[in-house]
Amino acid sequence: MRHTALALLILACNAQAAPRCDAVSVEYSAPRLVPLAGHVSVKRLAARPERELDDSDPEYKPRSPHDTAAFHRLVTIDSTKEGVPRVNTIEIYTLQGPKRAWRLDFAELAQNVEVQWLNEDLLFLRAWWGRIVSTELLFEVSSGRFLYAKEANYGLMIQPCEELQAK
């Protein structure tokens, strides 16, 4: 009995306290849990697409703010079916000025990639690989490269935390 009580006391002393709820945050780092190689690829297209595809989602904004560029999704995840490939294919292209077109392929996704125009040349993309880890990307249409790629880990935000006591 004494040994059990002593063991419990030692475990309680060594146990880490839960972080304060106001101190948890998203951890950003270079993509390491899900490396971009093998999961994301960028290919230059020989020509711009002939037509723009529509999407039934009212939040879908395929054109840049001043209509000089656009994107459309060629392949999305069909979440109603089991065992289907978890991939997205997105084409990004200019509508005015120099003719540029790119194809972005994403593999092993948990859900469809979030896409949002920031300006005429920059597109923000968020690829979720699971419920806790995503990769946030900033794609530059004029160069066809990612200017920013960070892995966002939300693991600390789903852990139990210690509420502050009002005094």
Alpha-carbon span 45 to 20, nearest angstrom: 49
pLDDT tens digit sequence for 13-71: 445 666 677 666 788 888 877 788 889 999 999 988 776 656 665 556 789 999 999 99
CB 152 within 8 A of CB 132: no
Residues in the chain: 167
Three-class SS state of 40:
strand
CA distance 77 to 86: 6
Share of the chain above pLDDT 70, in %: 77
Report field, pTM of the whole predicted structure over 0.85: no
| Pair 41, 104: CB distance under 8 Å | yes
User: Do 90 and 118 meet the contact criterion of CB atoms below 8 Å apart?
Assistant: no
pLDDT reading at 6 higher than 80 = no
Residue 17 CA neighbour count, 13 Å, CB half? 6
Q: Tokens standing for 69?
A: 């560029």
Output the CA torsion sign for 19, 24, 29, 35: positive
Of 8-12, 51-55, 86-90, 109-113, which range is least confident? 8-12
